[in-house]
Amino acid sequence: MATEYDGSVEQVLRAFGDERYWRARLADSGADEAILDTLTVDADGGIDVVTTQVLRSDRLPGLVSQFHPGDLSIRREETWQPVRDGRTSGKVAGSIPGAPVSLTGTMALEPSGAGARLSVRTTVEVRVPLVGGKIENFIGSQLVDLLVAEQRFTTVWITENA
């Protein structure tokens, strides 16, 4: 997956290291509960962030609620390297405690025209016999929507807070 930002690599990464950005992004996420668990910015500009988002069980698609009773808690961990030579890279991991689901991925943020391009490669694994592939496809389509929504939010945030 990939998306374009109007802001530079440095501006996007600066947003990713700002607690106000994360609190606003999480509040805008549509989750029933969204928590910024940790945000650490190293002296050299590297970033580690962990969030938890909760979706109430009555909002879950039937396919998901069949295999995960109750609310769905999604833990997301992102790490970003400092900007070097105008670009940066990162890793993302996602999990759902108590569910046989995992997500891992790599991210690259590079200059593109007057802005930046974020490329994301993810692997989603759902260890449920027979229907795991259907759930993986559902999660994959949701990830594309999430990436677009986060890009829009970040672009507006950078414009309003630069």
Domains, the chain, in order of start with CATH, read 2-161 (3.30.530.20)
**Full-model pTM:** 0.86
pLDDT band at 56 (very low <50, low <70, confident <90, very high): confident
Read off the tokens for 80: 């970003």
The pLDDT value given to residue 147:
75
122 by Cβ neighbours in 10 Å (0-12 / 13-18 / 19+) ranks as: middle
59-88 pLDDT per residue, tens: 776 666 666 677 878 899 999 999 999 999
Closest by CA position to 95, among listed 109, 105, 107: 105
For residue 100, what are the CA distances in angstroms to 37, 66, 124, 131, 135?
22, 13, 11, 12, 11
pLDDT tens per residue across span 112-128: 999 999 999 998 888 77
